């Protein structure tokens, strides 16, 4: 009987997008500034970590869920979902050139989103806000990336 139950659970789980686990989702918003002015045209990726203690790609590539580009006020707002057995661990990567001079590529600022902001299912019921974030100051552990360097000309 327990075995049959297990088969049933696995069948239901696998049917959701071909990945093992259950669909979960998250919604996030925020406003980014550069030296007090709205940071316009900044790319923000909503990711799901599969490398809790390491950089993405060491164990497995983190999952890309969604992205947004900040509007004329520096605001972004997006939601995303991912199938996973355990709870999802969402974060945003903000790719920007604020206070970066002529350095190649872009600064990448990572902000983790708390698990309390995630929900089972495909429709987030609450919006997690990172608030207003000033990009100029360096944050310990920030990286650089050339993934979206073509956006640089239209970004700050
Ligand atoms: Ca994960
Ligand atoms: Ca994952």
pLDDT band at 148 (very low <50, low <70, confident <90, very high): confident
Condensed to tens digits (0 to 9), the pLDDT of residues 82-98 reads 999 989 999 999 999 99
Lowest-confidence region among 4-18, 67-81, 99-113, 141-155: 4-18
Q: What is the pLDDT of residue 156?
A: 46
Residue with tokens 């993934």: 147
Q: What's 50's domain CATH number? A: 2.60.40.3330
pLDDT band at 60 (very low <50, low <70, confident <90, very high): confident
- C-alpha 71 – ligand 1 centre gap (Å): 29
- C-alpha 100 – ligand 1 centre gap (Å): 31
pTM for this entry = 0.82
Is the Cα dihedral 110, 77, 88, 146 positive or negative?
Answer: negative
The yes-or-no verdict on residue 8 having pLDDT over 60 is no
- Please report whether residue 144 resides in a domain: yes
- Please report whether residue 64 resides in a domain: yes
Name the closest ligand to CA 63: 2
- Please report whether residue 122 resides in a domain: yes
- Please report whether residue 118 resides in a domain: yes
pLDDT over 90, % of the chain: 66
Structure token pair of residue 120: 């089972």
- Please report whether residue 98 resides in a domain: yes
Name the closest ligand to CA 51: 1
- C-alpha 97 – ligand 2 centre gap (Å): 28
- C-alpha 47 – ligand 2 centre gap (Å): 9
pLDDT over 70, % of the chain: 79
Q: What is the largest CA-CA distance in the chain?
A: 65
- Please report whether residue 60 resides in a domain: yes
Q: Would you tell me how many other CB atoms lie within 10 Å of the CB of residue 75?
A: 16
How confident is the model over 39-65, as a mean pLDDT? 83
What is the span of the domain harbouring residue 80? Answer: 2-151
- Please report whether residue 156 resides in a domain: no
Structural domains counted in the chain: 1
Q: What is the pLDDT of residue 98?
A: 97
- Please report whether residue 121 resides in a domain: yes
- C-alpha 49 – ligand 1 centre gap (Å): 4
The yes-or-no verdict on residue 77 having pLDDT over 70 is yes
Output the average pLDDT for the chain: 86
């Amino acid at each position: 009987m327990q075995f049959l139950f297990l088969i049933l659970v696995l069948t239901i789980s696998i049917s959701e997008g071909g990945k093992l686990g259950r669909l979960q989702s998250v919604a996030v918003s925020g406003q980014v500034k550069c030296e007090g002015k709205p940071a316009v045209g900044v790319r923000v990726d909503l990711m799901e970590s599969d490398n809790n203690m390491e950089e993405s790609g060491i164990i497995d590539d983190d999952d890309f869920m969604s992205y947004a580009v900040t509007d004329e006020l520096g605001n972004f707002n997006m939601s995303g979902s991912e199938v996973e057995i355990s709870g999802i661990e969402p974060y945003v990567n903000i790719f920007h050139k604020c206070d970066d001079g002529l350095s190649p590529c872009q600064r990448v600022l990572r902000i983790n989103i708390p698990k309390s902001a995630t929900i089972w299912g495909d429709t987030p019921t609450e919006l997690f806000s990172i608030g207003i974030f000033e990009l100029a100051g360096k944050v310990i552990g920030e990286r650089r990336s050339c993934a979206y360097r073509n956006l640089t000309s239209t970004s700050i």
